[in-house]
């Protein structure tokens, strides 16, 4: 039988206690984890799915651990979490992070792989250190990125969903809706309504952010619209609830876009993902909610900007480093893309990427090539990306394929 239901805050407290006990006693543990960029979608999806699986999974008494895929200190780089968590009656300290597992040693030294099961949300293949340690322990996934083929097709009682949507959270809600309804009907009281509203606000936040409040026609799917309608109904069912979706979206978006207080390196690592191709060619992509000129000004000029990029890439042993930006000017949404191939192979791959993707992405030279550079061992190009419907979710696979195909 599933465990007795509690509030979100109590659930997260129990998750930390269960994690500590599992580490101390070397007992089995099941994680739900988002991707390594640890953005709003990943963090919220992990909590929502882990909560609902814990209290609805048939013939199970497993407490699923929602793991935010970042050190606790890096939560400060995600100010958008504050309004979201507060609306769910939570604080950042309530979340389970990598720091709850290990502060100084690799996670694999703390928790043996054979003791773990991993359910992925907002990605379908582990990356980095988690991949090396636990890449063979994948038991399910819910994701809206390209299929990577890392999770077995037959996941038994766990979900295996990889399909298009604006937000992964919409797919989580779609998968859990029937069980969630049944859970709520077990005790139809004020407390249950309050808990449903807390969970709904958490699940709704990334849908609104990832689809620009359901206005981005290139991203919104039927799953996003249905999930939003369902979650809003649960929020409004809480006695005394007063909820304005537009106001909620603006509050979160404003917090997310305010990165003035962050240093350049923190901005680059705030929403960062990396992949290793062909054994040793590592690609890193930073997504930034301000334009390239903002980053240059933050660094103190182009020379310092390039030096900071190179330091960032060197620290992570990258062969290719890219920055994708989003910004607004006169009410128009804009994207920029900067790609720097830092060795001969990466430079060739970057050139092939430009040739092969120029039309698809609508790449236009940025400021008369002011940031472009090329010699025999590296290649750097910056463009306006006129096909703004293509985010990192589409650009990353393109870059990865050209890196894979270049020798």
**Residue 387 pLDDT class (50, 70, 90 cuts):** very high
Q: Mean of the pLDDT values across residues 163-187? A: 96
pLDDT at 104 over 70: no
Cα(173)–Cα(162) distance, integer angstroms: 14
Scored b (16 or more CB within 10 A) or e, 266-278 reads: ebbbbbbbbbbbe
Q: What per-residue confidence (pLDDT) applies to 103?
A: 63
Does an H or E element contain 298, and which? helix 292-299
CB 37 within 8 A of CB 70: no
DSSP assignments along 252-287, one per residue: HHHHHH--TTS-HHHHHHHTEEEEEETTTEEEEEEE
Q: What per-residue confidence (pLDDT) applies to 59?
A: 64
Kindly report the three-state secondary structure assignment for every residue of 170-182: HHHHHHHHHHHHH
**Residue 107 pLDDT class (50, 70, 90 cuts):** confident
Domains annotated on the chain, with CATH:
8-253 (3.90.1640.10), 264-404 (3.10.310.20)
In this predicted model, what pLDDT tens digit does every residue of 279-298 receive, in sequence order? 789 999 999 999 999 999 99
**Beta pairing partners, 379:** 341, 374
In this predicted model, what pLDDT tens digit does every residue of 8-54 receive, in sequence order? 999 999 999 999 999 999 999 999 999 999 999 999 999 999 999 99
Decide: helix, strand or coil at residue 355.
helix
In this predicted model, what pLDDT tens digit does every residue of 56-66 receive, in sequence order? 987 678 999 99
Instruction: Give me the count of residues in the chain.
Output: 407
Q: Mean of the pLDDT values across residues 302-306? A: 97
Q: What Rg value do the Cα atoms of the chain yield, rounded?
A: 21
Cα(290)–Cα(328) distance, integer angstroms: 9
**Beta pairing partners, 332:** 329
Cα(218)–Cα(262) distance, integer angstroms: 30
Scored b (16 or more CB within 10 A) or e, 52-67 reads: bbbbbbeebeebbbbb
Q: Mean of the pLDDT values across residues 257-273? A: 95
Q: Which residue, 74, 96, 93, 92, is CA-closest to 84?
A: 92
Cα(291)–Cα(337) distance, integer angstroms: 10
Scored b (16 or more CB within 10 A) or e, 175-191 reads: bbeebbeebbeeeeeee
CA distances from 60 to 2, 4, 13 (A): 5, 11, 20
In this predicted model, what pLDDT tens digit does every residue of 213-243 receive, in sequence order? 999 999 999 999 999 999 999 999 999 889 9
Query: What mean pLDDT value characterizes the chain?
Result: 95
**Phi and psi of 268, rounded to 5°?**
-70, -30
Q: What per-residue confidence (pLDDT) applies to 129?
A: 86
pLDDT at 212 over 70: yes
pLDDT at 161 over 90: yes
């Amino acid at each position: 039988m599933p465990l007795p239901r509690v509030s979100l805050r109590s659930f997260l407290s129990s998750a930390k206690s269960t994690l500590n006990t599992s580490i101390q006693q070397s007992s089995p543990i099941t994680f739900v984890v988002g991707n390594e960029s640890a953005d709003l979608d990943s963090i919220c999806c992990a909590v929502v799915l882990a909560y609902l699986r814990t209290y609805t999974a048939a013939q199970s008494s497993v407490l699923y651990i929602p793991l935010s895929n970042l050190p606790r200190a890096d939560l400060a780089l995600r100010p958008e979490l504050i309004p979201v968590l507060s609306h769910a009656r939570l604080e950042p300290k309530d979340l389970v992070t990598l720091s709850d597992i290990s502060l100084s040693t690799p996670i694999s030294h703390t928790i043996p792989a054979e003791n773990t099961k991993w359910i992925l949300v907002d990605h379908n293949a582990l990356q980095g250190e988690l991949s090396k340690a636990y890449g063979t322990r994948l038991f399910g996934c819910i994701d809206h990125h390209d299929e990577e083929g890392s999770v077995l097709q037959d996941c038994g009682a766990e979900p295996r969903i990889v399909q298009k949507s604006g937000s992964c959270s919409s797919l989580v809600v779609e998968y859990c809706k029937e069980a969630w309804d049944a859970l709520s009907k077990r005790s139809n009281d004020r407390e249950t309504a309050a808990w449903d509203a807390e969970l709904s606000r958490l699940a709704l936040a990334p849908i609104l952010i990832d689809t620009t409040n359901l206005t981005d026609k290139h991203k919104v799917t039927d799953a996003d619209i249905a999930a939003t309608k369902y979650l809003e109904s649960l929020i409004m069912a809480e006695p005394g609830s007063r909820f304005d979706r537009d106001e909620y979206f603006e509050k979160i978006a404003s917090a997310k876009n305010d990165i003035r207080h962050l240093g350049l390196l923190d901005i680059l690592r705030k929403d960062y993902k990396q992949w290793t191709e062909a054994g040793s060619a590592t690609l890193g992509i930073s997504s930034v909610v301000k334009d390239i000129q903002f980053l240059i000004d933050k660094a103190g000029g182009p020379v310092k900007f390039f030096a900071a990029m190179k330091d960032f890439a060197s620290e992570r042993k990258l062969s290719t480093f890219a920055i994708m930006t989003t910004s607004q000017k006169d009410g128009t949404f804009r994207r920029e893309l900067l790609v720097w191939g830092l060795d001969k192979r990466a430079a060739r791959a970057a050139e092939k990427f430009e040739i092969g993707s120029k039309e698809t992405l609508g790449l236009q030279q940025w400021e008369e090539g002011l940031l472009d550079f090329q010699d025999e061992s590296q290649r750097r190009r910056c463009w306006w990306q006129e096909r703004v419907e293509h985010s990192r979710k589409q650009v990353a696979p393109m870059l990865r394929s050209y890196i894979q195909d270049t020798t």
